[in-house]
Amino acid sequence: MTSSIIPIVHVVDDDDDLREAVAVLLRVAGYQVRTYADAGHFLLSDATRAPGCLLLDVRMPGGPSGLDLQEALAERRSPLPVIFLSGQADVPMCARAFKAGALDFLTKPIRKDELLAAVARAIERDRETRRASERASDVRCLFESLSERERSVVAGLASGKLNKTIAADLSLSERMVKTYRARIMQKLGIRSISQLIELLKQPAGAS
Protein backbone atom coordinates (compact mmCIF):
# COMPACT_ATOMS: atom_id res chain seq x y z
CA MET A 1 0.00 0.00 0.00
CA THR A 2 1.51 3.31 -1.01
CA SER A 3 1.32 6.43 1.14
CA SER A 4 -0.34 8.33 -1.75
CA ILE A 5 -3.55 6.32 -1.36
CA ILE A 6 -6.08 8.35 0.62
CA PRO A 7 -7.88 6.10 3.13
CA ILE A 8 -11.63 5.69 2.79
CA VAL A 9 -13.85 5.97 5.84
CA HIS A 10 -17.04 3.96 5.37
CA VAL A 11 -20.01 5.24 7.39
CA VAL A 12 -22.88 2.79 7.87
CA ASP A 13 -25.83 4.30 9.76
CA ASP A 14 -29.58 4.33 9.14
CA ASP A 15 -29.86 7.88 10.54
CA ASP A 16 -29.62 10.04 7.40
CA ASP A 17 -28.84 13.29 9.23
CA LEU A 18 -26.13 11.79 11.43
CA ARG A 19 -24.62 9.86 8.54
CA GLU A 20 -24.26 12.98 6.41
CA ALA A 21 -23.03 15.13 9.32
CA VAL A 22 -20.28 12.61 10.06
CA ALA A 23 -19.41 12.43 6.36
CA VAL A 24 -19.02 16.22 6.12
CA LEU A 25 -16.82 16.32 9.23
CA LEU A 26 -14.54 13.60 7.89
CA ARG A 27 -14.27 15.14 4.43
CA VAL A 28 -13.24 18.45 5.97
CA ALA A 29 -10.57 16.51 7.89
CA GLY A 30 -9.21 15.23 4.57
CA TYR A 31 -10.67 11.74 4.34
CA GLN A 32 -12.50 10.14 1.47
CA VAL A 33 -15.91 9.08 2.73
CA ARG A 34 -18.53 6.64 1.48
CA THR A 35 -21.91 6.37 3.17
CA TYR A 36 -24.41 3.52 3.41
CA ALA A 37 -27.90 3.47 4.89
CA ASP A 38 -27.69 -0.19 5.90
CA ALA A 39 -25.36 -3.16 6.25
CA GLY A 40 -26.64 -4.83 3.09
CA HIS A 41 -25.56 -1.98 0.82
CA PHE A 42 -22.11 -1.98 2.39
CA LEU A 43 -21.67 -5.72 1.84
CA LEU A 44 -22.69 -5.36 -1.81
CA SER A 45 -20.11 -2.61 -2.34
CA ASP A 46 -17.07 -4.88 -1.90
CA ALA A 47 -15.47 -1.94 -0.11
CA THR A 48 -13.08 -3.84 2.12
CA ARG A 49 -10.25 -4.05 -0.43
CA ALA A 50 -9.30 -0.37 -0.16
CA PRO A 51 -7.45 0.94 2.90
CA GLY A 52 -9.52 2.75 5.50
CA CYS A 53 -11.89 1.95 8.34
CA LEU A 54 -15.56 1.41 9.10
CA LEU A 55 -17.85 3.57 11.26
CA LEU A 56 -20.76 1.32 12.07
CA ASP A 57 -24.05 1.93 13.85
CA VAL A 58 -24.79 -0.88 16.29
CA ARG A 59 -28.57 -0.91 15.90
CA MET A 60 -30.13 -0.69 12.43
CA PRO A 61 -33.79 -1.81 12.50
CA GLY A 62 -35.16 -3.65 9.50
CA GLY A 63 -31.96 -5.41 8.51
CA PRO A 64 -28.67 -6.83 9.76
CA SER A 65 -27.35 -5.04 12.84
CA GLY A 66 -23.89 -3.55 13.09
CA LEU A 67 -22.78 -6.57 15.08
CA ASP A 68 -24.13 -8.87 12.36
CA LEU A 69 -22.12 -6.94 9.78
CA GLN A 70 -19.00 -7.14 11.93
CA GLU A 71 -19.36 -10.92 12.12
CA ALA A 72 -19.90 -11.16 8.36
CA LEU A 73 -16.75 -9.14 7.74
CA ALA A 74 -14.78 -11.34 10.12
CA GLU A 75 -15.88 -14.40 8.14
CA ARG A 76 -14.58 -12.68 4.99
CA ARG A 77 -11.30 -11.91 6.76
CA SER A 78 -11.76 -8.20 6.16
CA PRO A 79 -8.85 -6.14 7.49
CA LEU A 80 -10.96 -3.00 7.99
CA PRO A 81 -10.88 -1.76 11.61
CA VAL A 82 -14.38 -1.24 13.01
CA ILE A 83 -15.52 1.70 15.13
CA PHE A 84 -19.01 1.26 16.54
CA LEU A 85 -21.50 4.09 17.05
CA SER A 86 -24.27 3.63 19.59
CA GLY A 87 -27.11 5.72 20.96
CA GLN A 88 -26.58 4.28 24.42
CA ALA A 89 -23.88 2.58 26.44
CA ASP A 90 -24.78 -1.11 26.45
CA VAL A 91 -22.17 -3.11 28.39
CA PRO A 92 -23.03 -6.57 26.95
CA MET A 93 -23.12 -5.12 23.45
CA CYS A 94 -19.78 -3.35 23.95
CA ALA A 95 -18.28 -6.57 25.26
CA ARG A 96 -19.53 -8.52 22.25
CA ALA A 97 -18.19 -5.90 19.84
CA PHE A 98 -14.73 -5.78 21.40
CA LYS A 99 -14.57 -9.56 21.65
CA ALA A 100 -15.22 -9.70 17.91
CA GLY A 101 -12.37 -7.27 17.27
CA ALA A 102 -13.88 -3.78 17.34
CA LEU A 103 -11.29 -1.04 17.72
CA ASP A 104 -13.52 1.51 19.44
CA PHE A 105 -17.07 2.09 20.69
CA LEU A 106 -18.40 5.67 20.61
CA THR A 107 -21.63 6.79 22.24
CA LYS A 108 -23.91 9.31 20.52
CA PRO A 109 -23.93 12.29 20.51
CA ILE A 110 -20.39 11.91 19.20
CA ARG A 111 -17.83 14.58 20.00
CA LYS A 112 -15.83 15.83 17.03
CA ASP A 113 -12.41 15.38 18.65
CA GLU A 114 -13.32 11.92 19.91
CA LEU A 115 -14.47 10.81 16.46
CA LEU A 116 -11.42 12.16 14.63
CA ALA A 117 -9.05 10.59 17.16
CA ALA A 118 -10.78 7.21 16.81
CA VAL A 119 -10.65 7.38 13.01
CA ALA A 120 -6.95 8.33 13.08
CA ARG A 121 -6.22 5.31 15.29
CA ALA A 122 -8.22 3.04 13.01
CA ILE A 123 -6.47 4.28 9.87
CA GLU A 124 -3.07 3.69 11.47
CA ARG A 125 -4.14 0.20 12.56
CA ASP A 126 -5.24 -0.56 9.01
CA ARG A 127 -1.91 0.65 7.61
CA GLU A 128 -0.01 -1.57 10.05
CA THR A 129 -2.17 -4.59 9.21
CA ARG A 130 -1.76 -4.14 5.47
CA ARG A 131 2.00 -3.57 5.76
CA ALA A 132 2.31 -6.78 7.77
CA SER A 133 0.26 -8.63 5.15
CA GLU A 134 2.50 -7.32 2.37
CA ARG A 135 5.63 -8.36 4.27
CA ALA A 136 4.20 -11.83 4.85
CA SER A 137 3.39 -12.12 1.15
CA ASP A 138 6.94 -11.09 0.23
CA VAL A 139 8.41 -13.64 2.64
CA ARG A 140 6.13 -16.35 1.26
CA CYS A 141 7.33 -15.62 -2.27
CA LEU A 142 10.95 -15.78 -1.15
CA PHE A 143 10.56 -19.17 0.49
CA GLU A 144 8.55 -20.51 -2.43
CA SER A 145 11.56 -19.74 -4.64
CA LEU A 146 13.61 -22.31 -2.70
CA SER A 147 13.90 -25.89 -3.88
CA GLU A 148 12.80 -28.74 -1.62
CA ARG A 149 16.43 -29.53 -0.82
CA GLU A 150 17.15 -25.88 0.01
CA ARG A 151 14.18 -25.82 2.38
CA SER A 152 15.56 -28.89 4.12
CA VAL A 153 18.87 -27.09 4.59
CA VAL A 154 16.99 -24.02 5.91
CA ALA A 155 15.22 -26.22 8.46
CA GLY A 156 18.57 -27.54 9.67
CA LEU A 157 20.13 -24.10 9.87
CA ALA A 158 17.10 -22.74 11.73
CA SER A 159 17.45 -25.58 14.25
CA GLY A 160 21.01 -24.50 14.98
CA LYS A 161 22.61 -27.54 13.38
CA LEU A 162 26.19 -27.44 12.10
CA ASN A 163 26.91 -27.90 8.40
CA LYS A 164 28.34 -31.37 9.00
CA THR A 165 25.22 -32.44 10.92
CA ILE A 166 22.94 -31.18 8.16
CA ALA A 167 25.12 -32.98 5.63
CA ALA A 168 24.76 -36.24 7.52
CA ASP A 169 21.00 -35.81 7.92
CA LEU A 170 20.52 -35.16 4.19
CA SER A 171 23.18 -37.57 2.91
CA LEU A 172 25.15 -34.71 1.39
CA SER A 173 28.77 -33.64 1.55
CA GLU A 174 29.56 -30.75 3.87
CA ARG A 175 30.83 -28.84 0.85
CA MET A 176 27.44 -29.28 -0.85
CA VAL A 177 25.65 -27.99 2.24
CA LYS A 178 27.85 -24.88 2.12
CA THR A 179 26.92 -24.44 -1.54
CA TYR A 180 23.22 -24.72 -0.71
CA ARG A 181 23.67 -22.33 2.19
CA ALA A 182 25.28 -19.69 -0.05
CA ARG A 183 22.52 -20.12 -2.63
CA ILE A 184 19.83 -19.77 0.04
CA MET A 185 21.39 -16.57 1.37
CA GLN A 186 21.46 -15.13 -2.13
CA LYS A 187 17.85 -16.04 -2.92
CA LEU A 188 16.55 -14.68 0.38
CA GLY A 189 18.69 -11.55 0.22
CA ILE A 190 20.31 -12.14 3.61
CA ARG A 191 23.88 -12.43 4.87
CA SER A 192 23.71 -14.29 8.15
CA ILE A 193 21.93 -17.06 10.02
CA SER A 194 20.54 -14.49 12.46
CA GLN A 195 18.82 -12.74 9.54
CA LEU A 196 17.45 -16.10 8.42
CA ILE A 197 16.00 -16.69 11.89
CA GLU A 198 14.34 -13.25 11.84
CA LEU A 199 12.88 -14.00 8.41
CA LEU A 200 11.50 -17.30 9.66
CA LYS A 201 9.72 -15.46 12.49
CA GLN A 202 7.52 -13.78 9.89
CA PRO A 203 4.10 -15.55 9.69
CA ALA A 204 4.61 -16.75 6.11
CA GLY A 205 8.18 -17.85 6.74
CA ALA A 206 7.23 -20.05 9.67
CA SER A 207 4.62 -22.01 7.71
Secondary structure (DSSP) of 28-77: HTT-EEEEESSHHHHHHHTGGGSSEEEEEES--TTS--HHHHHHHHHHTT
Domain 145-201 is of which CATH architecture?
Orthogonal Bundle (1.10)
What pLDDT, on a 0 to 100 scale, did the predictor assign at position 1?
Answer: 41
Instruction: Report the CATH superfamily, name and number, of domain 8-137.
Output: Response regulator (3.40.50.2300)
What pLDDT, on a 0 to 100 scale, did the predictor assign at position 205?
Answer: 55
Is this model's pTM higher than 0.85 or not? no
What pLDDT, on a 0 to 100 scale, did the predictor assign at position 203?
Answer: 59
Write out the residue limits of the CATH 3.40.50.2300 domain(s) in the chain. 8-137
Write out the residue limits of the CATH 1.10.10.10 domain(s) in the chain. 145-201
Asked if 81 contacts 125 with a C-beta cutoff of 8 angstroms, the reply is yes
CA distance 139 to 98: 31
The mean pLDDT values, 10 residues at a time, for the chain of 207 residues are 72 93 95 92 79 90 83 86 84 79 88 96 92 80 89 91 95 94 90 84 59
